Amino acid sequence: MTVSLGWQNLPRWSGACLVVAWSLWLTGCASTQVTSTSAPLPISSAAAQNPPTEAAAVDAASGPPVQAGSLKPNATMGLQPPTDIWDRIRRGFAMPDLEGPLVRDREQWYASRPDYILRMTERSRRYLFHIVEELERRNMPTELALLPFIESAFNPEAVSSAKAAGMWQFMPATGKSFDLKQNLFRDDRRDVRESTRAALDYLQKLYGMFGDWHLALAAYNWGEGSVGRALARNKALGKPLTYSELNMPNETRYYVPKLQAVKNIIALPESYKVSLPLIRNHPYFKSVPIERDIDVALAARLGEISLDDFKALNPSMNRPVILASGTPQILLPWDNAKVFERNLQDHTGQRLATWTAWVAPRTMKPEEAAQEVAMPIEQLRSANNIPPRMMVKAGSTLLVHRKGVLDNDVTEHMADHAQLALAPELVLKRILVTARKGDSLASLAARHGVTAANMASWNKLHIVASLKAGQSLMVYVPSEAANRVPRTAPSAPSRGHKAPPVSRHKKKR
């Protein structure tokens, strides 16, 4: 069953009437203008960089009301505001419907798993209002708000086997190209607002490239280059340049049908015997500024919410401390924002953060680093995810206890650029080698992959000392390679590693 709601050409209210709908009806609002939106188009980058805040449309004293300025009334709906977020999403459907057996297959798959749909939709309640607001502000189809159902089941901490992360599943390189910071202290691919901004920027870019939302979605999943080449092949063969006619991987072939299936279920849930949770049409969260570094656990406690709920709204913070210079605001449930601000004020003069950052001055073992910062080695390893037998490279930033000379907030430069680089710890093993006729320290050193200076030092010889055939000398080699070092090998052993298998995962963006 494919549902076509016929709302592609509904008029939208202009910015001249961003007031309560009933007031407009009573006063007539002679200045109201109506614009046609038959084909939502990408907006300018300037507009994308200056979004209105949700708080601007909310009366903080009485709580967040329904935003009538974003309604899309038609002959059947009149000026009635959306009853909930699902109703608001339905009103903004603007993509052509996709039909066919793949859509029906996915409809049946989702409809046969009501518990799965319930978990996904419940998880989405924190984020849907913000996403719909952004889509409407950009004049984009609101069914795109359902895309995280397909990408991550609305889990902002999801990580794929191909290393795509977050609710919108950005690969590291694509995330960087859309200004999503990824460093030791945060990963904006998981950030609720930043990842949404980047995803919609990317989708607008793809729509501008292909002029078709189905092709734009295929490119979001498969990569714009792959879709471009597939279209070129179809053109050369005289085939239609449509999504359904492209030769593509199965994952991409099912991608838009999945979104269409979810759209159909959201449009008429009763037809699929699906029950959607009530998600009211008002902001779930509010942004609260912070001026000092603060522990994540303390921030949750001051907001009087659970740690899990706090992390669900602030999933980009991957360390136990929030750095004000890098993340100057946090998200809290609407009613808890005032609670946090009041409790934070009462906490004035008390310590907010028990962690700070420290830069390793040289390459060292974790035990040495722990000694320098006066911190138990187990805690240092745990806080920084340092595996056994690894060394910390010079210039790496470590999260350490905040005390003594290290009792400072982290600087903006460190918060934005901190990285941790590790190197395998080399454990050397002594072996004996035999000199052959004509050998020198230099030739022996080259044969075993060490330096002549080290050979001379280990054997207490001058670097140009003459060697006798049959003379035994000591050589120190990495213990894992000791059994592979031949005593009379003509060349040094290979130190290469077997190349990893070619990834079979999607070439995701």
R_g of the chain computed on alpha carbons: 30
Query: CB under 8 Å to 358, separation ≥6 — which residues?
Result: 373, 397, 398, 400, 406
If one counts every other C-beta atom within 10 angstroms of the C-beta of residue 290, the result is: 17
**Tokens coding 246:** 């492209």
Contact 2, 97 (CB under 8 A): yes
Strands 285-289 and 321-322: unpaired
- Please report how the helices 192-210 and 224-236 are oriented relative to each other, as an axis angle in degrees rounded to 10: 20
Contact 261, 103 (CB under 8 A): yes
What 3-state class would DSSP assign to 289? strand
Which helix (H) or strand (E) segment holds residue 186: the answer is none
Q: Report how far residue 204's alpha carbon sits from residue 464's, in angstroms, rounded to the nearest whole number.
A: 68
Active site residue 151: yes
Which helix (H) or strand (E) segment holds residue 472: the answer is strand 472-478
**Tokens coding 200:** 């919609």
Catalytic residue among 134, 143, 151, 194: 151
Q: Report how far residue 209's alpha carbon sits from residue 224's, in angstroms, rounded to the nearest whole number.
A: 9
DSSP 406-450: G-SPPPHHHHHH----EEEPP-EEEEEEE--TT--HHHHHHHTTS
Surface-to-core class of residue 459, CB atoms within 10 Å of its CB (0-12 exposed, 13-18 middle, 19+ buried) = middle
Q: Which of 111, 94, 189 is nearest to 151 (CA)?
A: 189
Contact 287, 60 (CB under 8 A): no
Q: Report how far residue 87's alpha carbon sits from residue 143's, in angstroms, rounded to the nearest whole number.
A: 12
Q: Report how far residue 173's alpha carbon sits from residue 12's, in angstroms, rounded to the nearest whole number.
A: 36
Contact 358, 364 (CB under 8 A): no
Annotated catalytic residues are 151
